[in-house]
């Protein structure tokens, strides 16, 4: 992916992410307008909308033939994987953005004909900038990340949201409990993009969740591919890029061990 076209896209995407991050940081000075979407735990702020619109305007000006799939719905009605598609989560971890002003990220995955080419996850408050380019590796703050190594579940720290440890309608929670019991520990950060970036950078060993949308995982799975991580549905099947998916993302080896528990 060394061609000029992708170098131009990479430079633009990185620049816009830093500019959007500044909008988010500056917003800490102001009062947020907070509403909710499907239910009271599903928050959205004026900044989620503003940042998505910021990206769409920039992309339309510079790359009018590209499509955008964004969480807040200002982009295109993307039904097919053909062409270049920017899959954007303007703020991943809106609850953290509202409650903590930390642990939220801008997440962008750029795909061509369904193949992930560029992934950016910027943890705005910490300044951790995760980037990956197909065939060139994944980077944290411009330092190349090493390939992931195998680890046993008994020595692994697993990212999992408490929702899935108790009875729920998406998975047999006893199987999730057996993973939790066998692991060294669990963590929950409240931003799927950050959790996927943490798997790619080795801070945690796996991340398991039962329902994510394309903008939650689009960038993260590009990062993981570049470091030898494995990301599938929680039943081991391939992720469907434009749909909601359960996600099991982990180091190699551990992925199979966790699937053995999940498919019991």
Binding site for ligand IPD (CB under 6 A): 71, 89, 91-94, 161, 190-192, 209, 212, 216
Q: How far is the CB of 215 from Ca ion (least distance, A)?
A: 6
Binding residues among 119-158 for Ca ion as defined by CB under 5 A: none
A 10 A CB-CB count for 168 gives 13
The torsion defined by the Cα of 220, 115, 171 and 253, in degrees rounded to 10, comes to -70
Whole-angstrom distance, CA of residue 53 vs CA of residue 71 = 11
- Tell how strand 206-212 and strand 157-160 pair up: parallel
> What's the burial of 176, exposed, middle or buried (CB within 10 Å: 0-12/13-18/19+)?
buried
Q: How far is the CB of 132 from Ca ion (least distance, A)?
A: 18
Whole-angstrom distance, CA of residue 188 vs CA of residue 82 = 34
C-alpha pair distances (Å), 216 with each of 50, 74, 153, 167: 18, 16, 25, 24
Q: Are 174 and 167 in contact (CB under 8 A)?
A: no
71 binds Ca ion (CB under 5 A): yes
Residue 214 contact among ligand IPD, Ca ion, none, beta carbon within 5 to 8 Å by kind: none
Whole-angstrom distance, CA of residue 131 vs CA of residue 107 = 10
CB closer to ligand IPD out of 111 and 207: 207
CB closer to ligand IPD out of 92 and 112: 92
Q: How far is the CB of 36 from ligand IPD (least distance, A)?
A: 11
What are the backbone angles phi and psi of residue 61, rounded to the nearest 5°?
A: -70, -45
Residue 161 contact among ligand IPD, Ca ion, none, beta carbon within 5 to 8 Å by kind: ligand IPD
Q: From residue 25 to residue 64, what is the string marking binding to Ca ion with x (rule CB under 5 A)?
A: ----------------------------------------
Stretch that binds Ca ion, among 70-78, 163-171, 201-209, 225-233 (CB under 5 A): 70-78
Q: How far is the CB of 190 from ligand IPD (least distance, A)?
A: 5
CB closer to ligand IPD out of 112 and 195: 195
| Residue, CB closest to Ca ion | 92
Q: How far is the CB of 213 from Ca ion (least distance, A)?
A: 7
Q: Are 184 and 227 in contact (CB under 8 A)?
A: no
Q: How far is the CB of 216 from Ca ion (least distance, A)?
A: 4
List of residues contacting Ca ion (CB under 5 A): 71, 89, 91-92, 216
């Amino acid at each position: 992916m060394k061609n000029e076209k992708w170098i131009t896209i990479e430079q633009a995407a990185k620049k816009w992410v830093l500019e959007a991050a500044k909008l988010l940081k500056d917003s800490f000075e102001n009062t947020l307008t907070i509403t909710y979407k499907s239910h009271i735990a599903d928050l959205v702020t004026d900044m989620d909308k503003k940042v998505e619109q910021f990206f769409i305007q920039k992309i339309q000006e510079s790359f009018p033939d590209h499509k955008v799939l964004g969480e807040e719905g200002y982009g295109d009605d993307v039904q097919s994987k053909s062409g270049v598609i920017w899959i954007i989560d303007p703020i991943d971890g809106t609850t953290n953005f509202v409650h903590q002003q930390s642990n939220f990220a801008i997440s962008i995955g750029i795909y061509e004909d369904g193949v992930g080419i560029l992934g950016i996850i910027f943890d705005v408050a910490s300044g951790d900038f995760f980037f990956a380019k197909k065939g060139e590796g994944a980077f944290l703050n411009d330092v190349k990340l090493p390939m992931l190594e195998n680890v046993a579940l008994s020595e692994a720290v697993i990212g999992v949201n408490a929702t899935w440890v108790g009875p729920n309608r998406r998975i047999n929670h006893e199987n999730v409990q057996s993973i939790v019991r066998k692991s060294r520990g669990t963590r929950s950060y409240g931003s799927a993009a950050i959790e996927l970036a943490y798997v790619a950078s080795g801070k945690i060993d796996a991340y398991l969740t039962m329902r994510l949308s394309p903008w939650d995982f689009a960038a993260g799975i590009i990062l993981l591919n570049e470091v030898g991580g494995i990301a599938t549905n929680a039943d081991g099947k391939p992720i469907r890029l434009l749909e909601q998916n359960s996600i099991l993302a982990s180091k190699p080896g551990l992925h199979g061990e966790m699937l053995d528990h999940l498919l019991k």
